[in-house]
Structure 1
Amino acid sequence: MTITPRLVARYPIPDRADARRVLDADGPVPRLQVRSAASLHIHELGEQAELVAEFPAPPATTPWSPVWVAPDLSFAVFGTGTAYVAVARDGGRMLWQQPYGAWEVGRWGYLAFSPAGAAGEPRIWLRLPSGLPDRTLVLTLDAAGTVLARSVLPCGGYERFVSLWWDGHGEVAGVTVTDPTAGGRTAHTSYRAACRESESGAIVLGDRLPPDRDPLRPGERAYLDTDSRAARCMTLDRRGRDVSWHSLPTHRVTATLGLDDFPAPGTGDCSVHNAPYLSYPSGFVDDDTALVTLHNPYDEAAVYLFGEDAWREYSHWLADPATGALHGRVEYPMPEVDNVLPLGDGTWITGEWDACYRWQR
């Protein structure tokens, strides 16, 4: 069964040449980041695309350099060749920097914003090399870049990606260590954690989460999304075999959608695929509808055999997160649709080279 979506809005992409585009749904209004080596432009995608902030990039950045934008758009932090550099919007005045030397920030660097802090002021959490093979240094900063706390966590280390996760009140609740070098496959370990307010936000690492309390079991699952009520989350088997929905806070699996639930490759609504697997991005269109992505590894011979009109690298499907049942494949009016961002409000956005499109079932 195919589903023809209704087009809600079209957002032409400005400055298309030599720029990288990133869709972001973290704020109340979805945003489009257009990045070049010289600048970062932020557009809010409402009824129209509106330019709301511009950040001139510091030296030694490229369109692929990491960048993190403050929730209120007051500043952005760029990962340059040697340091985290915070710049103000529009004029690009440098606010602060934290050097990290020759560390590979594009692979192991990390920065996050949280609303916790005195008088509701946001805090910034960034990772720096600790100099120790099995330790991670995390700095807690205020918006001005003042270091409030230094936390050396007994986990992580070089060549492991370390990230924080939060509870429903915006407080640090845990730490996850991802190791892409573990036996040739990506593995991760999660720990409970908390902030020690008497030390201005120092992180205290707790116990390792047992597998039955961690939906992202080491090496097996990746987090995708949480619904608006924080009643259900969605995870992906890292080998692309299925997506699952979990009740919160127990993380008990309540529904699963596997590859066997789709038509056989090359038949029916899967005629656009020859070797599909479930992939990013997938998530909640709303609390009662999920969007899942089937991805085809690029195969030049298959493209030649099937023809460009009959073969797709991606397809998008709608499903019921309560049961895992498929509603059908989304049939767009244009032939090539890849990047997708479910918004949780009943719509989703797809991104093409010249425009973004907002859809509704």
Structure 2
Amino acid sequence: MTVARLVATVAAPLDLAAADAPQVLHWPGRRLLVQRGDTELVALDLDVATAGRRLTEARFPAPWPRRFGSVTVSPEGEAAVFAGVHAVRCVEATGATRWGVRHGCWEGEHPHTHTSFAEYADDEGHWSADNGSAAFSADGKLVWAHVRGPLADNGETEDDQELWLVLDAADGRVLGRANTMTVASSSEHTPHPDPAQMGLSVGEGEEGSPVLWGRWDGQRLTTEQLDIERILLAVSPSGRHLLTVPLEQETLSLHRVDDGVALRELDAQGTVTPHPGDTGGDRIYWDHEAAFVDEDTVVVGTSECDAGSGTARHWLVDVQGMALRGEISYPLAVSGPPRSAGDGTWYTVSEDRTSLHLWRPARDA
């Protein structure tokens, strides 16, 4: 059994009555705690928090409430990008809009555009619209965005095809684009240590879950589909490997980034012991989030399937031999899956969502 050492506990800066749970965004040498509320986004330097120094906050006014899309923050914490129903908008902490890219509305079957959020703010049909996502490159110079066409104000028409865009983070110029050939209900980006690479998981409901890999050579965006029914969990610290699970979440797979080939796999069923509270022989499967501790080791949970039987369980896995090293023992109760926090750490969110716990193996103490 591996013992987890608590590195830090950081309180959520926003009232959860009108905010999501806190999360961590990380890149090589940089980690931020971010929390999205209906009216603002807060970002904290997580390394400052773990060092016990006084925290400074960056607060970004939100152009629309949190139910209308997702958000990301630049590595330096000076800009936030909101991926909404009708536009991708970059906002500075001063409240100024740095740039915006309007695109086809994610609600409805037929392509149409909006000039502002006010046009559909009170329309219940837009409250549960599909959505894309966005992420900053590791160096903060690019924004990768998954949107629905057509793009507005660029002189080109793409009907309602979905696009993967590479944008200049300074001014929002569209540098590259590619048709994802997807029909998304949602999507999520997974940054790579190389600013010119990015992963994208697209949820298509019952239709599938494509994993796409993008490369930007400074002139052209090229993409490849790694699989049509998998979920991208994490990228290794070196950037050479990535981790996925299929939609059913029964098999953990390690892939080579260069060509997407699955190198090794580990089934949850038959590897993980049944939960002590399981009296009905429930199916065992991996969570849809995981964290690399180092190039050879990942922390992955079974918290989703454990939920009906008792406390969440997390496991240390050697991905080189694809072998289970054992269950992780925590000094306090944890909930939910382990999530990547970079620099050899992972995090969990307290059950009441009011704080975030940062962990690393006790052997690294």
SS of 1:296's partner is: helix
Is residue 248 of structure 2 the alignment partner of residue 239 of structure 1?
yes
Q: Aligned AA for 1:318? A: L
- 1:268-288 deviation line (CA, Å, top 9, x unaligned): 9x8999443111211211223
Is residue 65 of structure 2 the alignment partner of residue 61 of structure 1?
yes
d(CA) in 2 for partners of 1:339, 1:260 = 18
Q: Compared with structure 1, are the counterparts of its residues 88 and 186 closer, same or farther at alpha carbon in structure 2 (3 Å cutoff)?
A: same
Q: Which residue of 1 aligns with 2:288?
A: 280
- 1:176-217 deviation line (CA, Å, top 9, x unaligned): 684615xx341427577655x5xxx454x57x66xxxx4xx3
Q: Which residue of 2 aligns with 1:41?
A: 42
Q: Which residue of 2 aligns with 1:319?
A: 317
Q: Which residue of 1 aligns with 2:136?
A: 113
Q: Which residue of 1 aligns with 2:204?
A: 180
d(CA) in 2 for partners of 1:296, 1:179 = 18
Is residue 128 of structure 2 the alignment partner of residue 129 of structure 1?
no
5 Å matches for 1:171-320?
171=196, 178=202, 180=204, 184-188=206-210, 190=212, 195=217, 201-203=219-221, 205=222, 214=226, 217-219=227-229, 221-247=230-256, 249=258, 251-267=260-276, 274-297=282-305, 311-312=310-311, 314-320=312-318
5 Å matches for 1:73-84?
73-80=77-84, 82-84=86-88
SS of 1:73's partner is: coil
Is residue 22 of structure 2 the alignment partner of residue 11 of structure 1?
no
Higher strand proportion, which one?
A: 1
d(CA) in 2 for partners of 1:44, 1:94 = 22
TM-score of the aligned structures, taking structure 1 as reference length = 0.74
d(CA) in 1 for partners of 2:97, 2:235 = 35
Bigger mean CA offset, 247-256 vs 282-291: 247-256
d(CA) in 2 for partners of 1:134, 1:342 = 34
Q: Which residue of 2 aligns with 1:145?
A: 171
Q: Which residue of 2 aligns with 1:341?
A: 339
Structure whose CA Rg is larger:
1
Q: Compared with structure 1, are the counterparts of its residues 189 and 359 closer, same or farther at alpha carbon in structure 2 (3 Å cutoff)?
A: closer
Q: Compared with structure 1, are the counterparts of its residues 351 and 80 closer, same or farther at alpha carbon in structure 2 (3 Å cutoff)?
A: same
Q: Which structure exhibits the higher relative contact order, with contacts defined as CA atoms closer than 8 Å and separated by 6 or more residues? A: 2
The offset of 1:158, in angstroms, is: 5.2
Q: Aligned AA for 1:334? A: L
Q: Aligned AA for 1:73? A: G
Bigger mean CA offset, 343-352 vs 162-171: 162-171
Q: Which residue of 2 aligns with 1:308?
A: none
The offset of 1:318, in angstroms, is: 0.7
Q: Which residue of 1 aligns with 2:120?
A: none
Report sequence identity in percent: 22
Query: Is contact 1:55–1:92 with CA below 8 Å preserved after alignment?
Result: yes
The offset of 1:55, in angstroms, is: 0.8
SS of 2:269's partner is: helix
Q: Compared with structure 1, are the counterparts of its residues 167 and 337 closer, same or farther at alpha carbon in structure 2 (3 Å cutoff)?
A: closer
d(CA) in 1 for partners of 2:209, 2:10 = 38
Instruction: Pick from 327, 330, 338 the counterpart of residue 328 of structure 2.
Output: 330
- 1:290-335 deviation line (CA, Å, top 9, x unaligned): 1111133487xx56xxxxxxx13x3111121111222211222333
The offset of 1:166, in angstroms, is: 8.3
d(CA) in 2 for partners of 1:337, 1:165 = 23
Q: Which residue of 2 aligns with 1:355?
A: 355
Query: Is contact 1:23–1:33 with CA below 8 Å preserved after alignment?
Result: yes
Query: Is contact 1:276–1:295 with CA below 8 Å preserved after alignment?
Result: no
SS of 1:277's partner is: coil
TM-score of the aligned structures, taking structure 2 as reference length = 0.73
* Cα RMSD for the two superposed structures: 3.8
Query: Is contact 2:290–2:337 with CA below 8 Å preserved after alignment?
Result: no
Query: Is contact 1:132–1:157 with CA below 8 Å preserved after alignment?
Result: no
Q: Aligned AA for 1:94? A: T
Q: Which residue of 1 aligns with 2:103?
A: 100
The offset of 1:6, in angstroms, is: 2.0
Query: Is contact 1:9–1:359 with CA below 8 Å preserved after alignment?
Result: yes
d(CA) in 1 for partners of 2:33, 2:315 = 23
d(CA) in 2 for partners of 1:322, 1:264 = 21
